């Protein structure tokens, strides 16, 4: 059974940085695109970023492009999200999710439990 | 990239059927058969219930079905049950500035 476990969330001041991790197990991590999706408590899902299975291609939402960097270590079965220049509006629960194999893939059936990032002074 | 448009809320009685719409454009919903639907209960991660407009992942009840007409996709839940009360989100692949867009979400209340 596939499992995704996020970590690294917490309280950070505006302008600060944080790195989220997502440890994957139960499936061949290196075969799949991976995504980050965030959700302000009480609000809707918002797609953040995705990375190709071999790490060669990454896409970002307009709101985070230039500030966030997605990466992966297939040897460690781990996905990362480096978040810099954090803003109050980045406060949310961040989920990692498995994608598919094609370039048209989206988040699919396997999601983590989420990690809360709070940006506040 | 603007979010896909969903109704804020829908409701139905046990045993009834309801339909949730998800409206986009020719750049997303109308242009590709890559619409997914998720169910989310409070405090839980989203659950994948429909992909590629009409397909159901293994283990998802046949009471959930998807369809699409033009730029609007729809999720129909038949034989409503109390446990169906949740938030529902659509998503689509898009050729816009970002490759994935979600809908704003619909709260389903089972009366």
Encode pLDDT of A108-118 as tens digits. 989 999 999 99
Indicate the DSSP class of residue A65: B
Q: Do B98 and A62 touch (CB under 8 A)?
A: yes
d(CA A117, CA A77): 22
Is the Cβ of B105 closer than 8 Å to some Cβ of chain A? yes
Confidence of residue A55 (pLDDT cuts 50, 70, 90): very high
**Res A104: pLDDT:** 85
Average pLDDT rounded to a whole number, residues A30-50: 97
Pick from A20, A2, A32: nearest CA to A95: A20
B97/A62 CB distance under 8 A: yes
Q: Average pLDDT over chain B, rounded to whole?
A: 96
DSSP readout, chain B? -PPBB--SEEEE-TT--EEEEEE--TTTTTT-S-EEEEEE-TTS--EEEEBTTTB--TT--TTEEEEEETTEEEEEE-S--GGG-EEEEEEEE-SSSSSEEEB--EEEEE-
What is the pLDDT at residue B96?
Answer: 79
Contact residues, chain B, for A96 at CB < 8 Å? none
pLDDT above 70 covers a percentage of chain A that reads 100
Mean pLDDT of chain A: 96
Q: What is the reported pLDDT for A31? A: 96
CA distances for B73 relative to A69, B44, B46, B48, B105, angstroms: 32, 24, 19, 16, 13
Tell me, what's the pLDDT at B2? Answer: 78
* pLDDT score of A18 more than 90: yes
- Give the Cβ contact number of residue A20 at 10 Å: 23
pLDDT band at residue A36 under the 50/70/90 scheme? very high
Residue whose C-alpha is closest to residue B87's, from B67, B70, B68, B106: B106
* Chain B residue numbers touching A44 (CB-CB < 8 A): 3, 87, 89, 102-105
Q: Which residues of A touch B103 (CB under 8 A)?
A: 44
**Which band of pLDDT confidence, cut at 50, 70 and 90, is reported for residue B76?**
very high
d(CA A6, CA A25): 12
Mean pLDDT score, A29-48: 97
CA distance B29 to B22: 8
Whole-number percent of chain B with pLDDT over 90: 95
pLDDT in tens, B94-103: 997 899 999 9
Q: How many other CB atoms are found less than 10 A from the CB of residue B87?
A: 19
Report the distance separating Cα B1 and Cα A76, nearest Å. Answer: 33
- pLDDT at position A64 is 97
Is residue B1 predicted with pLDDT exceeding 80?
Answer: no
How far lies B71's CA from each of B4, B95, B99, in Å? 10, 14, 17
């Amino acid at each position: 059974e596939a499992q995704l476990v996020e970590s690294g969330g917490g309280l950070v001041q505006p302008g600060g940085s944080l790195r989220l991790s997502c440890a994957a197990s139960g499936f061949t991590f290196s075969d799949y695109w991976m995504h980050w999706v965030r959700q302000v408590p009480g609000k809707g899902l918002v797609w953040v970023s995705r990375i190709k299975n071999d790490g060669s291609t990454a896409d970002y939402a307009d709101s985070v492009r230039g500030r966030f960097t997605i990466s992966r270590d297939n040897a460690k079965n781990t996905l990362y999200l480096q978040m810099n220049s954090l803003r109050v509006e980045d406060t949310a629960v961040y989920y990692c999710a498995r994608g598919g194999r094609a370039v048209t893939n989206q988040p699919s059936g396997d999601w983590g439990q989420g990690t809360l990032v709070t940006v506040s002074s | 990239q603007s979010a896909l448009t969903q109704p804020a809320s829908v409701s139905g009685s046990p045993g009834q059927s309801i339909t949730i719409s998800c409206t986009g454009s020719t750049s997303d919903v109308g242009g590709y058969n890559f619409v997914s639907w998720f169910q989310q209960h409070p405090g839980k991660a989203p659950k994948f219930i429909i992909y590629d407009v009409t397909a159901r992942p293994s283990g998802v009840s046949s009471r959930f079905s998807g369809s699409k007409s033009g730029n609007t996709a729809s999720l129909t839940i038949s034989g409503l049950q109390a446990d169906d009360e949740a938030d529902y989100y659509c998503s689509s692949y898009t050729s816009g500035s970002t490759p994935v867009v979600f809908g704003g979400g619909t709260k389903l209340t089972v009366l």
